[in-house]
Amino acid sequence: MTAPLSQVLLLLAGSVFLVTLARRLGLPTTLAYLVLGLLLGPHALGVVSDSGTTRLLAELGVAFLLFTLGLEFSLPRMLAMRGEVFGLGALQVAATAGVCALIAHQLGVGWLPAIVLGGAVSMSSTAILLHQLTERAELNRTHGRLAFSMLLFQDLAFVPFLALAAALAEGADHFNLSQSLVAVLGGVLAIVAVLAAGRWLLRPLFHEIAHSRLRELFTLTVLLVALGSAWVSYVAGLSFALGAFLSGMMLAETEYRHQIEAVIRPFRDILLGLFFISVGMLLDLHLLVRELPLISLLLVTMVPLKAVIAALTARPFTSSRFKALRTGIVISIGGEFGVALCTILLEAGLVPEKLGEPLVVAIVLSMLLSPLILNNNKRVARALLREHAPVATASEREDAATGRIALREHVILCGFGRVGQNVARVLESQGFEYIALDLDPARIRAARQAGDPVMYGDSSDEELLAKAGLAAASTVVISFSDPATSIGILRSVRRLRPEVPVLVRTADDARLKELQDAGATDVVPETFEASLMLVSHVLMLLHVPVPRVVRTLGDIRSNRYTVLRNIVRRGDPRPVDELSDHREELKSVVVPPGAWAVGRTLGDVRGRGVEVTFTGVRRQGILGREPAEGTVLHEGDIVVIYGQPEELERAESVLLAG
């Protein structure tokens, strides 16, 4: 009992230290976990063993990552990407595996083991790439989308490669086609089962669970769905991650998406860190030192070769050489599936150790170097193409525009949920500028695409408040419902600027005094204000003069709602269920090349049964709000729509249809 606990404590202490150091140095946290695994793994200090339990937990971390990623996608979007997944993905795997198999055969490896070896090299790490692309906000860029399509097909292609490797390891001297077809068919059936369950079972299930209002039951259900779909995928011979991604995708258009993501995030982050640690453990330092020249040769050959092949295959799918090359650079690293295939061949003696073992180290080393490769993909692509950087990207223009607002008089909105967005729309309609702060990456991306001046980060971070222009702000509005969060923000604001007015939203007056002591200029209790609105309407229906109504409401507010506090409470207080009545959401859809909507008007789109509100169309960084029905859509337009999840899904399927 002591030894495992000591290992856990050592991993936690090392993670805290190295992640903090990485953040201080401006390095990706992924690199900190990889280095920790390298230092503590069996090939270095030997403090932590690479056990089966560790690997299982690490794979679950990847599954949770793909589950949360699926929550940001939708079935219409995936159907629109089918050409890229099965066209581009198949080209990349086939071309890379073919070239590498030919090289391996020339080095003395038999044809069938050489094909498996080529498949191993063609694989890239789904977890590392998606984590890095998401962290860098590049997943929805062209190169990120193309790389993601390749990764999805690689997960599918792993099944026949694994079947071939297993057949060769068992002593079969030829490829068993029927066995491979059965494995592929099982994978297809698993995918269909997950999609069907997600389509017809998950929404009703979560509707019932949400109405129970039991937080722990909701959390248990999320874990059951994520792990259950991963298990179905695994039993069918696919990866844990693919099944989890599909179930997340099925939940993407439900009203519970944001709450599901919030529930799964702590499990994902912890277990994903363990995955990166387990990758670091794979590097054999003794072999690296002993075979450094050969490993270096394999590394500098494999990474550029994969990049060139992927870039060439991506070229027909994009109009830009630069974007194709960035895609190739991103996909050039190795993957854990490649390590697994090489290990099977080595254990069966189908590949010479002098080639197989250094190749495994080279693949792992490319994964360790992935933060360096991915962080510089744009710079390297420009250098290779000898292209000068454009004046500014869309993201850089947005940052510059937000920075200019921070220098002028404006309102800072802490929290950009439903309440924060409602305040923003009214401010905008009255000609006032604002900057919003929020911690939800998906919400930030959607808001930035819609042209809203938002910044990602913790609103209580004093450095972020300074960047948001607190020194020039006329008012700060805190729209978070959690009083503890609001108190932390209030203290940070007051340390930087004691005199600025701060308005705070709260559910009721339970912690009113605490909020006022922390520095709130005014506190707006939702329950009391809703009561006052009802009171005002009732009094006017009773023909009470308007001045008297206004005076009555003013007296109640000035007395801090004293008259509203004398209420009889029910025995079983239950929170208001906002999910059933307030399900409308804002969503941004990018019109892809070759889509039906290109060249057609918003009226044509609405004519196909779309019942959403078109709130804006963004073209080349310029946002046009409340577009007319006759607005013609162009390739690459970002259409901002508003409505209920089912309506949004219908609109997205029409806009993305080929």
Residue 556, domain member (yes or no): no
Q: Per-residue confidence at 389, pLDDT binned at 50, 70, 90?
A: low
**Residue partners of 473: CB distance under 8 A and separation at least 6:** 409, 410, 411, 412, 497, 500
Q: What is the mean pLDDT of residues 509-529?
A: 82
Strand partners, 641: 587, 614
Strand duo 502-506 + 473-478: pairing = parallel
Is residue 437 within 8 Å of residue 449, measured between CB atoms? no
Q: Do residues 500 and 473 lie in contact, with contact meaning Cβ atoms separated by under 8 Å?
A: yes
Across 5-14, 133-142, 324-333, 594-603, the highest mean pLDDT is recorded for: 324-333
User: What's 205's domain CATH number?
Assistant: 1.20.1530.20
Which tens digit of pLDDT belongs to each residue from 407-426?
889 999 999 988 888 899 88
Name residue 524's beta-bridge partners.
505
Q: Is residue 644 part of a domain?
A: yes
- Of 363, 385, 407, the one marking the end of a domain is 385
Judged by DSSP in three states, 477 sits in: strand
Tell me, yes or no, whether 401 lies in a domain: yes
211 lies in which domain range?
2-385
Specify whether 248 is located in the same domain as 352: yes
Find, among 452, 342, 449, 315, the residue nearest to 118 by Cα. 342
User: Do 346 and 404 lie in a common domain?
Assistant: no
Q: How far is CA 635 from the centre of its chain?
A: 24
- Better-predicted residue by pLDDT, 484 or 44: 484
Q: Report residue 131 CA to chain centroid gap.
A: 8
pLDDT over 90 at 583, yes or no = no
Number of H helices, E strands in the chain: 31, 10
Q: Is residue 573's pLDDT more than 50? A: no
- Do 398 and 378 share a structural domain? no
**In which residue are the tokens 């070759």 written?**
594
d(CA 253, CA 79): 14
Phi, psi (degrees; rounded to nearest 5) at 299? -65, -50
Domain assignment of residue 375, yes or no: yes
Output the domain CATH number for residue 609: 3.30.70.1450
Question: Do 232 and 215 have their domain in common?
Answer: yes
| Locus of tokens 């993407």 | 252
Average pLDDT, the chain: 81
pTM comes to 0.60
Q: Are residues 146 and 228 in the same domain?
A: yes
Same domain, 322 and 366: yes
Is residue 498 located within the same domain as residue 634?
no
Separation in Å, CA 497 to CA 476, 491, 493, 516, 623:
11, 10, 6, 16, 33
Give, in degrees to the nearest 5, the angle at Cα 147 between 294 and 619.
145
* Position 609 pLDDT exceeds 60: yes
The average pLDDT across 320-348 equals 88
Angle, vertex CA 654, rays to CA 650 and CA 657, nearest 5? 130
Q: Is 563 part of any domain?
A: no
Quote the distance between the C-alpha of residue 503 and its chain's center.
31
Residue 590 host element (H or E):
strand 585-590
Per-residue confidence band for 570, with pLDDT thresholds at 50, 70 and 90: very low
Contact at 8 Å (CB) between 272 and 158?
Answer: no
Which of 338, 365, 385 finishes a domain?
385
Task: Give the pLDDT of residue 62.
Answer: 75
Q: Between residues 603 and 211, which one has the greater pLDDT?
A: 603
> Same domain for 110 and 243?
yes
- Of the candidates 454, 435, 429, the residue with the CA atom closest to the CA atom of residue 444: 454
pLDDT band at 272 (very low <50, low <70, confident <90, very high): confident
552 located within any domain: no
Domains in the chain: how many in total? 3
CATH number at residue 476: 3.40.50.720
Q: Decide if 504 contacts 478 (C-beta within 8 A).
A: yes
The verdict on residue 567 lying in a domain is no
Q: What is the pLDDT of residues 305-314, one digit of tens each?
A: 999 999 999 9
441-481 pLDDT tens trace: 778 877 887 778 898 888 988 888 998 999 999 999 999 88
Q: Which pLDDT score is estimated for 568?
A: 43
| Strands of the 434-438 sheet, one edge to the other | 454-456, 434-438, 410-414, 473-478, 502-506, 522-525
Same domain, 367 and 410: no
Q: Is 90 exceeded by the pLDDT of residue 371?
A: no
Identify whether residues 318 and 448 lie together within a single domain: no
Same domain, 171 and 243: yes
- Whether 346 and 441 map to the same domain: the answer is no
Please name the helix (run of DSSP H) or strand (run of DSSP E) that holds residue 413, with its range, or none: strand 410-414
In a domain, 525, yes or no: no
Q: Phi, psi at residue 124, to the nearest 5°?
A: -125, 160
Last residue of a domain, one of 362, 385, 408: 385
